[in-house]
Amino acid sequence: MQRGLPMQPTVVLLKEGTDTSQGKAQLLSNISACLAIAGTLASTLGPRGMDKLIVNERGDAQITNDGATILKLLDIVHPAARTLVDIARAQDAEVGDGTTSVVLLAAQLLKEVRGYIEEGVSPHIIMKGFRQASQIALQRIKEIQVSVDRSDPERFRSLLIKCASTSMSSKLIHSEKPFFANMVVDAVMCLDQDDLDESLIGVKKIPGGGMQDSLLINGVSFKKTFTYAGAEQQPKSFRDPLIVSLNVELELKAEKDNAEVRVEAVSDYQAIVDAEWEIIYRKLEAIEKTGAKVVLSKLPIGDLATQWFADRDIFCAGRVAAADLQRVVQAVGGSIQSTCSDIRREHLGTCGKFDERQIGGERYNVFEECPKSKTCTLLLRGGAEQFIEEVERSLHDAIMVVKRAVKNGEIVAGGGAIEMDLSAHIRKHALSIPGKTQLVMTAFAKALEVIPRQICDNAGLDSTDVLNKLRMKHANGSKWFGVDVDGPEGVRDNMEAFVWEPSLVRVNAISSATEAACLILSVDETVRNPQSEAPNPGPQAPPGTAQRALRGRGRGVPRR
């Protein structure tokens, strides 16, 4: 018997069928997946970007060029590529704009260092260089960003309009920029300037009409709710009405299917019915005593209550959406009551004017001239539903950009100007650093140029020629020169051309893109667990037998 070390037993760690991929090949595969996503989004960037028409499994079509929306609709399953989906969503939630830019930038960072990975450079050296370059870029933005003087309201408003216009320049509504930019700025200035909660800007989509028929209601407006008999006899217009907001059901309750009431005489049954009517009449009288002329409730208001209010010249609306009712309270004051007893004057709100009006094919309840108005409603008009939805997404981006400009007040020039300046600055700094980090930082600087290059490509300009001009301008100290898609030169001073955006948009995009690139570079192995498979119906069963058997059961259908 041969002496030596005892045989080690084989240890099975992972479930049978688990797929593992690792090493350099896996890292390069992840980079290729990210580049494929960037290739899909690249043509949507800039003022001449194209739109994507995406059809889901139900056949619903959406037309958009918003990066976060496209990635959400594409339903990407590649695990590494989902990182780019996450940074696009984070950019959308945080600053609202720059979702396409952040994905292109992250993918371009990976593309620039793919050659170094193939040659065996450690990913940790690349990640260290990226983080250093990112810090230099963010520091440079802080140095050159332009702070806006808020003391002059007219100039500050002008700045906000220019930021909103820049955000819309690549959207479907770019032809109506002045109209919608003013509307967006008015909407943001309606909000409480301390928290600027954009969810208090209601958006209602009404098919029909043109874009110019869109309205900004400085108050609250919502579609006429489901109404019962008697609603048409109610008054539809008031001046300075008292408004009560309820979370109470004003309807005769139907008995439950399994309810059982045992009575000895008919009079006992009548007493039960009378008690039910007594309860609802007591609620209605309590509401009337408050002096309210407009009654809104989150829960149904039945035909009895509707007719009762109509006889007393009171307007009521039941089944009001929770978000709409919350915005009514923000605008008119008061609070939502969960009981009809003990409603006092401080619980009621008021507005200067309430009316029900026809807008397109729908009727809308409109509350205007609200004393505490910290909310507003955008009524969007347009031909196709997909068009109105894209207008809504475009306005959301513009609202978020204006909100950030109000909160921060620092701006930079758009159109690739800030990226070109950062690229020149990082290149210059990289020359002072020895070793491989210099190459990585130069790659970072080159990756930043993807934004102006893609804007040129999408506009049909010669990107090589335009980038050479921009490099020369930035080398000579003209830090705000960017791409001009309209002029013959192809370049211009975008600060003077009023192509402005909040510096926070770029700060967030560069930080997120760097983190995403470093995250993907740090992954060297993917472990994919096997999916649980459906049970096999057996070799003796002909094809389709299992499906037919399943369809036949459970609904009273006999098996054949």
- Catalytic option among 44, 64, 99, 514: 99
Which helix H or strand E contains 548, and what residues bound it? Answer: helix 545-552
- Catalytic option among 100, 166, 225, 442: 100
Is residue 100 annotated as part of the catalytic site, yes or no? Answer: yes
**Residue 48 near residue 459 (C-beta atoms within 8 A):** yes
**Residue 393 near residue 66 (C-beta atoms within 8 A):** yes
Cα–Cα–Cα angle for 155, 161, 163, rounded to 5 degrees: 105
The model scores a pTM over 0.85: no
Closest by Cα among 291, 271, 267 to 279: 271
pLDDT at 439: 92
- Catalytic option among 92, 97, 324, 397: 397
CA–CA separation, 478 vs 492, rounded Å? 10
pLDDT at 342: 81
Is residue 40 annotated as part of the catalytic site, yes or no? Answer: no
Domains, the chain, with CATH or none: 19-147+413-526 (1.10.560.10), 153-218+379-408 (3.30.260.10), 220-372 (3.50.7.10)
Cβ-count burial of 342 within 10 angstroms (0-12 exposed, 13-18 middle, 19+ buried)? exposed
pLDDT at 112: 93
CA–CA separation, 493 vs 539, rounded Å? 74
pLDDT at 15: 62
| Ramachandran angles phi, psi of 86, nearest 5° | -65, -40
CA–CA separation, 25 vs 28, rounded Å? 5
pLDDT at 3: 58
pLDDT at 138: 93
Tokens representing 463 are: 């990107």
User: Along the chain (560 residues), what's the average pLDDT of each consecutive run of 10 residues?
Assistant: 58 59 78 90 86 85 85 85 88 84 93 90 91 93 85 82 83 82 88 78 85 85 82 84 87 65 79 83 87 88 87 89 87 85 84 87 86 82 82 86 82 88 92 89 93 91 91 89 85 86 89 92 78 49 40 40
- Catalytic option among 44, 66, 350, 375: 66
pLDDT at 555: 40
CB environment 448-466: b (16+ within 10 A), e (fewer): bbbbbbbbbbbbebebeeb
pLDDT at 556: 43
| Amino acid of residue 46 | G
**Residue 452 near residue 423 (C-beta atoms within 8 A):** no
Closest by Cα among 321, 320, 313, 290 to 230: 313
pLDDT at 531: 65
| Ramachandran angles phi, psi of 405, nearest 5° | -65, -35
Cβ-count burial of 224 within 10 angstroms (0-12 exposed, 13-18 middle, 19+ buried)? middle
User: Which residues are within 8 A (CB) of 259 and not within 5 positions of it... i.e. 6 or more apart?
Assistant: none
Is residue 66 annotated as part of the catalytic site, yes or no? Answer: yes
Is residue 442 annotated as part of the catalytic site, yes or no? Answer: no
Strand positions, DSSP E, 87-134: none
List the beta bridge partners of residue 201: 376
Using H for helix, E for strand and C for coil, what is the string for 383-429? CCHHHHHHHHHHHHHHHHHHHHHHHHCEEEECCCHHHHHHHHHHHHH
Q: How far is CA 450 from CA 112, 211, 343, 447, 464, in A?
A: 11, 33, 62, 6, 12
Q: Report how far Cα 1 is from the mean position of its chain's Cα atoms.
A: 73
Tokens representing 248 are: 């109470």
The count of residues in the chain is 560
List the beta bridge partners of residue 376: 201
